[in-house]
Structure 1
Amino acid sequence: MSKNIHGRTLDLLGEAIVSRRYAVGMPMPAEPLLCEAFGVSRTVVREAVKSLVAKGLIVTGPKVGTRVLPEDRWNWFDPDVITWQSRVGLTPEFLRDLVDLRRVVEPAAVRLAAERATGADIAEIEAAYAGMKAAIEQGGDYVSNDLRFHHGLLVAARNRMLAQMSKALDALLRTSFELSTAKKDGPAKSLPLHRAVLDAVIAHNPARAERAILKLIESAREDIDEVLQSRRRMPRVNRAPPRLKAAA
């Protein structure tokens, strides 16, 4: 129970900071006020504050108190930070940085996957692709299978550092996938692009695999640009992945 209370308090404080409820450089409410606001003990608040310090969102000290740090100090590879930003609403800067990161990391990772993927790796990516296809045709969770597909590519690169980045990358990629999934026929149009990546990895053709993933990333960028150019409010990512309806 204490872990659940800590996690809930951490989420509430994290989302409050990311939503700019507490201004950068300004002192946050005193500990007793936070305890009263969240209905928790000082121990819980203190543990949550320690976690936020570790994630780069705040700084504490006897002379400065507890203050919010600028966004460029936040740990954007921390899945919690990504989740909080996604929940309170994506920003143009966040989406731009996401596309840039994908362009840097994924082509190199997919080249390695095409060189190094084992039979088991390919079977896992195939299973993820089958799940995406089934979600389109029969209805279901497309986003989770899409994440599984890209996670499988990172694992197939057989690089321990890339593998350890996968948790943060999963959280980042989910935001892109949900934007594409929200578009009419988005998943159906994206599926052949995923197939091209998979076929290139199966063929152990690194150059073809790189071209295919770049085409897939470009398609996602177009989806994001459409969101940025619209007058709609920046989207929020769902706590649970959206489910597709069965194809007519």
Structure 2
Amino acid sequence: MIKNVHGSTVDFLGEAIVGGRYAVGASLPAEPLLCEELGVSRTVIRESVKSLVAKGLISTGPKVGTRVLPDENWNWFDPDVVNWQARVGLTAEFLRDLQDLRRVVEPAAVRLAAERATPQDIAQIEAAYAGMKKAVVEGGDYITFDLRFHQGLLRAAQNRMLWQMSKALSALLRTSFEISTSRKDGPAGSLPMHRAVLDAVAAHDPARAEKAVLRLIDGARQDIEQVLGSRKRLPRLSRPASQLKAA
């Protein structure tokens, strides 16, 4: 989707901040300079600054101007912030924070899913699993179906806040899935673990579902640590999802 002038300006400035073009504590260039550089009006710059303030990237105030905030102030549940980080390059700290978050959120959500999932919920997760399996056997887009699988689990928890969180988590989860997919036999090896989670949720067995998803998350953590230890280049999520070759 093509973004409007405001959206494109927020993207440019957000990515520049996350990428370190403007250091923590530094001021953004003055409005006239930004207007000239980006070819936009002062109104667009001012509205874009408001958006970046809302995302926690900058602060504004009289006499101090517009200053870049440390990354602990950034809203890491905002998909834009995650996407900007992905574009400029993932970091080991980012990936480890992601794994900690998954270990906190997903097991509890899957327990709720096992208690509350409707037949429709289970059918949607089954369809996502079938797409994953087909991609392993015939080749294709495994990652999109993997995301749908995990989104389906969070939706099945029947909790509006968890579902809202899933929208941001999706951008985060893709980082993990890209790494797992890049490993030889990674997707094929993870299919039985996904099946175990699905079967436990379908059986409405919360304890078994929680145990199964923890195995899945810990397997992903091992994949990430191996990639970090090997010093291989981390995936850039600005590109289309990786495609599997036929088995």
TM bracket, shorter-chain basis:
over 0.9
SS of the counterpart of 2:244?
coil
2:227 matched residue in structure 1: 227
2:73 matched residue in structure 1: 73
With normalisation by structure 2, the TM-score equals 0.95
Shift of 1:165: 1.0
Residue 97 in 1 paired to residue 97 in 2? yes
Structure 2 residue identity aligned to 1:64: V
Residue 44 in 1 paired to residue 44 in 2? yes
With normalisation by structure 1, the TM-score equals 0.95
2:241 matched residue in structure 1: 241
Alignment of 1:170-185 (within 5 A): 170-185=170-185
Structure 2 residue identity aligned to 1:212: A
Counterparts of 1:9 and 1:150, CA distance in 2: 32
2:124 matched residue in structure 1: 124
Shift of 1:179: 1.1
1:64-86 per-position Cα deviation (integer Å, ceiling 9, x unaligned): 11110001100011111011111
Counterparts of 1:137 and 1:60, CA distance in 2: 53
2:193 matched residue in structure 1: 193
SS of the counterpart of 2:60?
strand
Structure 2 residue identity aligned to 1:122: I
Alignment of 1:154-173 (within 5 A): 154-173=154-173
Residues 205, 130 of structure 1: CA spacing in aligned structure 2 closer, same or farther, 3 A cutoff? same
Counterparts of 2:194 and 2:202, CA distance in 1: 12
SS of the counterpart of 2:4?
helix
Shift of 1:226: 1.1
Shift of 1:190: 1.1
SS of the counterpart of 2:134?
helix
1:53-109 per-position Cα deviation (integer Å, ceiling 9, x unaligned): 000000112211111000110001111101111111111111111000000000000
2:211 matched residue in structure 1: 211
Shift of 1:245: 2.0
1:101-133 per-position Cα deviation (integer Å, ceiling 9, x unaligned): 000000000011111111000000000001111
**Conservation of the 8 A alpha-carbon contact between 2:107 and 2:213:** yes
Shift of 1:201: 0.6
Counterparts of 1:108 and 1:51, CA distance in 2: 32
Structure 1 residue identity aligned to 2:87: R
Structure 2 residue runs of 5 or longer lacking an equivalent are none
Shift of 1:243: 1.8
Shift of 1:193: 0.9
Shift of 1:246: 2.1
Counterparts of 1:245 and 1:234, CA distance in 2: 20
Shift of 1:2: 9.9
1:194-226 per-position Cα deviation (integer Å, ceiling 9, x unaligned): 111001111111111011100000110011101
Counterparts of 1:246 and 1:62, CA distance in 2: 60
Counterparts of 1:31 and 1:163, CA distance in 2: 38
Structure 2 residue identity aligned to 1:222: Q
Structure 1 residue runs of 5 or longer lacking an equivalent are none
**Conservation of the 8 A alpha-carbon contact between 2:128 and 2:145:** yes
Counterparts of 1:33 and 1:25, CA distance in 2: 19
1:153 matched residue in structure 2: 153
1:143 matched residue in structure 2: 143
How many residues are matched?
247
Counterparts of 1:182 and 1:227, CA distance in 2: 9
